Every structure is written in structure tokens, then in C-alpha cells.
Amino acid sequence: MQSHMTLKALAQQWKYDLDCEKMDVYSHTTLLSEIDINDEGRDIALKGENGDFCGWIPYSILMKEVWKQWKLTKAYYETFLNSVESAVTTVDSNGDIVHLNPISEAMYGISLNEVYGQSITNYFEKEAIVLMSTMKERQGVMGKYNQPHPNVHVLITTSPVYVDEEVVGGISIERDITEMVKLNDKLSSTTEYLHNLESATQNQQNLSPFNKIKGRSPVLKDAINLANKVAKTDAAVLITGESGVGKELFAEGIHKAGNRSNKPFVAINCGAIPNALFESELFGYEQGAFTGAIKGGKKGKFDAAKGGTIFLDEVGEMPLELQVKLLRVLQEKHYYRVSGNEAIPTDVRIIAATNRDLEKMIDEGSFREDLYYRLNVISISIPPLRDRIEDVPELIQLFLTEFSLKYAMPIPEVSPEVMYSFLQHPWQGNIRQLRNIIERVIILANDNEVIKPHHLPKNFMKENKPPTLQRQFENTEKINGQGEEEIQYALQKTYGNKAAAAKLLGISRATLYNKLKKYELQ
């Protein structure tokens, strides 16, 4: 943006004599930096770097150019402020409002025309104004959480404005995160409500704490047995596994099977909470902790989970500076609310989960080793779906029933080709991916239509596949020779689907029926 002209350029524009051989014009980037105004105020003398006179410009011409450049600068300034997608407020050295952009006007329900020149303290409580402390302390803030109005939550960035060494004003930029905060609060309260409702229903029906985890594979049963065993203790548990394997279901099961089952289960997604909000979300804050903080302060998740369980999902996404604060709480067994001086004892069980390799992150310096060992007293690894492929048919039937009821459609039949494809698929997205695909086919299939390969996503068949399940039988006698045990195994894996079992075994359907008759397996 060319808000200024050099003296040389201005003189040349108006064709006034200027001996620039003696003058470093590039050092004179402001119009009034090296000038003398004579007593009459009409002519402006120009000096070179050695102090000698080297030209002149009429006062009126200079003032016209200054006015032109000021208008140009003001136009850029106002256009910039009005184009920013955040609320922008500027004040002078006294804290009087100089500018509010349209987003700031809309956010706070005030008009620039009404408040221009008035103190910003007239419209916000004094302690709620970060901008005033920024100018007083001559130090800005970056991305700090603030609650300037009771129902407005923002991330604020402020800077003092200097002319030479003097602070002449301040500017604040605020990004509205109100909906994010409200959604997070609503999600937390809804999750707690649903958990309490499920716990009550489960107790009435005498269901297993792990009843929501479906499957009969040995590796899954081993994980459930371990979870059930550690549930009776208060030891910290780290649940690992790929995205979509059901880590939160295991965390809920551990809580329900433990001694804290009648207390709250509070889940926190460490990857979804903005860094500036994280500490206050976990530990709460005292009145006045943030500018505009609600009177009386606010409780955090540790308060909400008192006596119960805190589930730290995606703990590998937690920033290093927040890992330090969590580690201190785990070590000292108490915490402080933001800006609070009272030590509050912790009475929660910690269960964490991650789909990342924390040991690798430790080597890379992105996860603290001491926190890792605090969280990893007991480790439970949830197997990916491709390692328990025998559970796929049961999960398919479960999801077919679920979505058929949801969309008021009959439960469709799955063709052998599709079932075979499901059994061979690597399932990078695990159970979540399978569930989404079943919902898709329920929506796209017509009533009483058999699910065929064309109902599947286009890229589904193109993904790399693991070795066929028939290789699992290589250490036994060939199927075509005998195979009662192998046939039973194949039927179990295909959930009784004979066509899919035949394809899995590498024999025709007629041959399979003959063997079923032979071994009296029908």
C-alpha cells in the first residue's frame, strides 16, 4: 500500500527544483520528516543529509498531497477492518472507541455511530476489557479465551498501537466461538444424560456392562475380559486401537463394571477443544479469571465427574503445554481452577484412549514420557476389525436390523458376493466404516431388493485386500478331501450364509450341501 511518497517523487511530480545528489531520498519515507516551514507557512524547504538546502515545495501543494495520501490510507484502513471475518475494535490512548467493524457491531449489538468517541468501559465491565490492560501493560495477547458478555465467548488477540515509543491506542480482534462452546457444553450434558439413562436401563435389565460391544472372536473376548478385570480397580487405563474400533464403548464398559458405576461418566475429546479453552474446560475457573467470566465462576469436567470417571479420548492430540498441567494434577492429586488459589482434591478415575503411537510421539518429542506412564498403568489394545473377521457377519446383521428399523424398511438379504467382499475387506475404518456402509446400502436399496455389489461405494472393491480367509486352512487337510471342522468354521465366519461359506471354502454350493448332508450339519 503506497500511503507515502518520497520528497523527491513529490518534487518531481510538481516540477520543483530539487538537488537530490546531496540527499538520500530513500531515507525520507514520510513527508514531514526532513522539512523546514518558513515563517509565512507557504514554502517548505528541503534539506539533504548534510543539512544543506536542496530544494523547496509550496506549502499548499504539500498539504494537498498529504490530504490525498491520508484519504488513501483511511480508505485502505476501513476496507481492511470491514473485510475481516472477526470482530475488530480500535480505541485511542484514553480507551475511547475509534472504530468497530460490522461484525463487532453485530456481535455486541451496538453501532459505531452511537458509540464513537465514547469510552469502551461504558459498554463493557472494566475487568472485561483485555484491550485496556493491553495498552496499560504495553503487551498484547494472542488467541486468549474471553467472555466479554454473558452470552458471548471469543478468542481474542490484542495489540497496542505505537507512534514512535508512545502508545496511542489499541486494537483487538475477536473470533466468535460462542456456538462451539455451547455445543461442547450441550454435548457434554447430553452424553452424561444418555450415560445415566443407559446405566439405569442396564441395571433394570441386568445386562452386562460390555453388552454394547458385539462379537464372539477370541481376540475381542480377551480384550473384554481384561477390561472387566481392571474395572474393579481405580488404576488408570490407556485404551489403544485404530479409529472406529469402539474405544469409547470399552471405556463406558469399564466404568459401568467398576465401583464408580453410580457416579458420572464424563467424556472429553482432547482433539475437539480449542487450546485456549482446555484448562478452563477441565478445571473450571473462578470469578474474574477471564475478562467477562460469569459471576461465581464455572465448574470444570473434574468437578462434573466427581466420584466418577473422566474419559480422555484422543489424548494424543493434547498439546504439550496442556499435558504438563494434566500431569501435575495426576501427580499431586488435586487441581486449581483457573485464577483460583484453593487446591481441590481429585476424586475421579482416569481412562484415556488414542489411535496414535504414543511411544513414537515420545521419541519425536510431541508427547511427555512421564504423562504416558501415568496414563498407561493398564493398557488395553482393541483389535481392528480385520483381525476379528469372524465378527463381521454378526455386525452386519446387527446394523441391518438397526437401520431397517430407523428407516422403516424391511431387512434386506445380502448377496454371497457382497458377504464375501465384506469378509475380505481390510476395514481401515473398522466398525465405524462397516456401520456407515450398511446404512448406505439400506438407504439405496429398494424394498425387498437383495444387496448387490453395485450398492457398495465405488472405491470399496478397489481397496487393497488382505489374503483370503481360505489361507487360514492351509495347515489342515484340504477342504475338498474331508473338512467337517473347516466347514463349521466357515459357516461360523459367514454367520450361516451357505453361499458365502461355499465361496470362502473354494467349493461350489452343491458340494457344500453334499458335505453338510454327509456330516449331518444341516
Q: Is 111 buried (19+), middle (13-18) or exposed (0-12) by CB count in 10 A?
A: exposed
Cite the DSSP H helix spans in 317-357.
320-332
The pLDDT, as a whole number, for residue 468 is: 43
The pLDDT, as a whole number, for residue 32 is: 39
Q: Name the maximum alpha-carbon separation found in the chain.
A: 122
- Coil, strand, or helix at residue 450? coil
Q: At 518, list the grid cell.
A: 454327509
Please answer whether residues 399 and 435 qualify as being in contact, where contact means their C-beta atoms are separated by less than 8 angstroms.
yes
One pLDDT digit (tens) per residue for the chain, 522 residues: 343 445 555 555 544 444 444 333 333 333 333 444 444 455 666 666 676 766 677 777 777 888 888 888 888 888 888 888 888 888 888 888 888 888 888 888 888 888 888 888 887 766 557 778 888 888 888 877 777 776 777 788 888 898 888 888 888 888 887 766 666 666 555 555 555 555 555 555 557 889 889 888 899 999 999 999 999 999 999 999 999 999 999 999 999 999 999 999 999 888 887 777 788 888 888 765 554 445 556 788 999 899 999 999 999 999 888 899 899 999 999 988 887 788 899 999 999 999 999 999 999 999 999 999 999 999 999 999 999 988 998 899 899 989 988 888 888 888 888 888 888 889 999 999 999 999 999 998 887 788 888 888 887 866 544 444 444 443 333 344 347 778 887 777 676 777 777 777 778 777 887 888 787 776
Please answer whether residues 337 and 289 qualify as being in contact, where contact means their C-beta atoms are separated by less than 8 angstroms.
yes
pTM above 0.85, yes or no: no
In angstroms, the CA 281 to CA 74 distance is: 41
Secondary structure letter of residue 289 according to DSSP:
S
Secondary structure letter of residue 456 according to DSSP:
S
Element (H, E) at 143: strand 141-149
Q: Calculate the average pLDDT of the chain.
A: 78
The pLDDT, as a whole number, for residue 77 is: 83
Q: Is 454 buried (19+), middle (13-18) or exposed (0-12) by CB count in 10 A?
A: exposed
The pLDDT, as a whole number, for residue 198 is: 56
The pLDDT, as a whole number, for residue 21 is: 41
DSSP letter string, 476-494: S--TTT--HHHHHHHHHHT
- Coil, strand, or helix at residue 133? helix
- Coil, strand, or helix at residue 88? strand
Secondary structure letter of residue 455 according to DSSP:
G
The pLDDT, as a whole number, for residue 370 is: 94
The pLDDT, as a whole number, for residue 470 is: 45
Please answer whether residues 44 and 58 qualify as being in contact, where contact means their C-beta atoms are separated by less than 8 angstroms.
yes
